[in-house]
Structure 1
Amino acid sequence: MPSTTSPTAISSHLTVRPDWLNRRREPAIEPDLPIVDPHHHLIDRPESGRYLLPDLLDDINGGGHNVVATVYLEWLSMYRLDGPEEMRPVGEIEFANGVGAMCASGSYGKPRVSAGIVGHADLGIGARVGDVLDAMIAAGGSRFRGIRFISASDPDQPHWGATAIRPRGLLLNPKVREGFAQLAPRGLTFDAFMYHPQLGDLVDLARAFPQTPIVLNHVGGPIGLGRYTGKRDAVFSDWSKKIQELAACPNVHVKLGGLGMKVFGFDVHEGELPPSSEQLASAWRPYVETCINAFGANRAMFESNFPVDKGSYGYGVFWNTCKLLTKGASAPEKADLFHGTAARVYRLKL
């Protein structure tokens, strides 16, 4: 099976406007609550802009929340320039591991950025991907935890600027599954991102590989644009049923975030002022509560998805939103949602 990704196949996202974001500042709610941010990116490419360690630390420190560690998620960053194509993503692991080593020195403050690393490997090459995974394990030292293999694709994706064209039923492909089978023997996790009409494929995959930890990104991608515009209730009904099916698979976990992306169809980025945490909590509550009720706090984790979501709101406002959404949760539930689940899934030593 040919490769299904390339270094230029990247979605477009909302423009980050610092002056606009600076118009909304909120004091941190429960500022001492430890947080592991299990999903952020670092990037430096002409077509995608620059968001590197100093930028992330500015967001963390400016938000006033107690972020103790992060998990780096692949975003086509710092691929090797040459060598076999399937090995080029190893460069991203080397880059992220370097960031992790910098932060582990303590010279950059408390947050242990890139304490865990999730890279990309092309499962479409089948069992040969095992050599790529072994190279990533070596490159990531004690920090490499697994891969993400995005299968998100929809006929209406031009409506939200997504440019990567992927085959339908990608996770059902025998060659991809041959590659997927290489994860569990190496103790690696699988991060999945797809849109809500594709969630059935992930249910099938999770049932076929019950020993592989799977993390569903961005609450499962309920689409709010294109042919789904104005159909939020119908989408929610379809999405929530599939979330229940996924939650029945004990090896699946869910990330609560990503809702600032275009695909969800929210319009908070169009306001004269950035949204408040109260506004976001009101809009997101049905999705977040559905996921927590289905998976339980011990299989759910809040994620910032920065800088992708930074076009919609600030980092501090995001974590305030999460804290508003869990106002009635018990202390153990909050501990899981904000750091415990992420630490267990990605095997972080806090």
Structure 2
Amino acid sequence: MDEPGAVTLVDAHHHLWDLGANYYPWLSDQPEAHFFMGDYTPLKRNYLPADYRRDARRHNVLATVHCEAEWDRADQVGETRWLTGVHEREGMPTAIVAHAWFHTPEGEEVLARQAAFPLVRGIRSKPVTSLSPDRMTPGAPGTMQDPRWLEGFARLEKHSLSWDLRVPYWHLYEAAEVARAFPRTPIVLNHTGFPWDRSPQGLAAWQKAMEAIAREPNVHLKVSEFGLKDRPWDFESNRQVVLRAIGIFGIERCMFASNFPVAGLRIDYDTLVRSVARMLEGFSERERRRFFVDNAAAFYRLAGVSTNERQP
């Protein structure tokens, strides 16, 4: 029986990894110098379905979407193949957001191979970005203005795949141009657009960028990952971000995502879910169901998701 206050949800973004069997450079031997939450040493351990189930046990998880986890880029399809085996053994994840570079010579072939896996619903391919707004290099190889990148991006529609967009907020204006140029490609912005600067000026800049991309009707939002570098998880600060973000996009285009185990650097799964549910107390029951279940199920085409079923 569910505990009091348990939330029924689709988790639209989580990760799994087996460091003994597979190679993730950032978790093994190539530390990410600019990781957005600072020291991530606690993540350098296996995180498998049993670990996810333990973290999520207090809630009614109907389905999960696995987002690519920086697997060895020399074997981009390997992660999808491994996850398909995990699904066959464990019943999760329900769907996969795989990886394929858009601008590389082998990009077209890799994308086609990824699309052939039944669980694949979308691609996350991170464009080249800058560490700050004053260091941007528009048009450079791998950026969202690179003609080769755009040529590769255009293939998503051919394969009926969505794009998971993950960039700092100062790149959202460029992303809005991409969304406008490809209106039939569903796009979902990861991690609430990364509102890292919580000063009044920083939040104003983030909000302006979010408003720009939200004008494109094919763009949706994952309300997830409010963790900040070297700062604890703060309910009130994050509540303001969540309510602003939902106000910009409309709750009909927003979906819950845990980003576990990464979010676990700052908060446990149960507290995260209950906190976000508290933030949404002013919304109707129907609106909360759309946010926690229906929007993600529709975006990722999760057939048969029902509040009467419990997975994984």
Counterpart amino acid of residue 67 in structure 1: V
Amino acid of the residue matched to residue 120 of structure 2? F
- Aligned pair count reads 276
Residue 132 of structure 1 corresponds to 110
Between the aligned residues of both structures, percent identity stands at 33
- Equivalent residue number for residue 57 of structure 1: 53
Shift of 1:49: 2.6
Query: Hey, what's the Cα distance between the residues in 1 that align with 2:132 and 2:189?
Result: 22
The one-letter amino acid of 1:121's match is A
Alignment match of 1:344 (pick from 272, 284, 298): 298
| Counterpart in the other structure of 1:316 | 270
Q: Give the aligned partner of residue 69 of structure 2.
A: 75
How far is the alpha carbon of 1:44 from its aligned partner? Answer: 2.9
Could you tell me how far apart the structure 2 residues matched to 1:249 and 1:205 are? 10
1:214 to 170, 180, 187: 187
**How far does the alpha carbon of each residue in 1:269-322 deviate from its partner, in whole angstroms, 9 at most, with x for none?**
xxxxxx6xxx42x11122111111121111101111111110101000000011
Cα distance in 1, alignment partners of residues 147 and 297 from structure 2 = 32
SS of 1:42's equivalent in the other structure is: coil
After superposition, the Cα gap between the structure-2 partners of 1:219 and 1:34, relative to the gap in structure 1 and judged at 3 Å, is: same
Question: Which string of whole-angstrom CA distances, capped at 9 and with x for unpartnered residues, describes residues 176-217 of structure 1?
Answer: 000000001111000011111111111111111111000100
Aligned-partner Cα distance in 2 for 1:167–1:222: 25
Structure 2: which 5+ residue stretches go unaligned? 20-26, 29-43, 134-138, 306-312
1:122 aligned onto 2:101: yes
AA at the equivalent of 1:96: L
Paired residue for 1:300? Answer: 254
Within 5 Å, which residues of 2 pair with 1:162-181? 170-181=143-154
Change (3 A) 1:234 1:171: same
In structure 2, what is the equivalent of residue 35 of structure 1? 9
CA distance in 1, matches of 2:175, 2:253: 16
RMSD over aligned CA atoms reads 2.3
In 2, the alpha carbon distance for the partners of 1:248 and 1:156 equals 24
- Runs of 4+ off more than 4 Å: 166-169
Calculate the TM-score normalised by the size of structure 2: 0.82
Could you give the per-residue CA deviations for residues 132-157 of structure 1, whole angstroms, max 9, x where no partner exists? 1221122x22x111110123633369
**What aligned pairs does 1:130-279 form with structure 2 within 5 A after superposition?**
130-138=108-116, 140-141=117-118, 143-151=119-127, 153-155=129-131, 170-224=143-197, 232-262=199-229, 267-268=231-232, 279=234
- Mapped contact 2:128–2:142 kept (Cα < 8 A): no
User: Could you report, residue by residue, the CA deviation over 1:108-142 in whole angstroms, capped at 9, with x for unpaired residues?
Assistant: xxxxx31110011011126x52321221122x22x
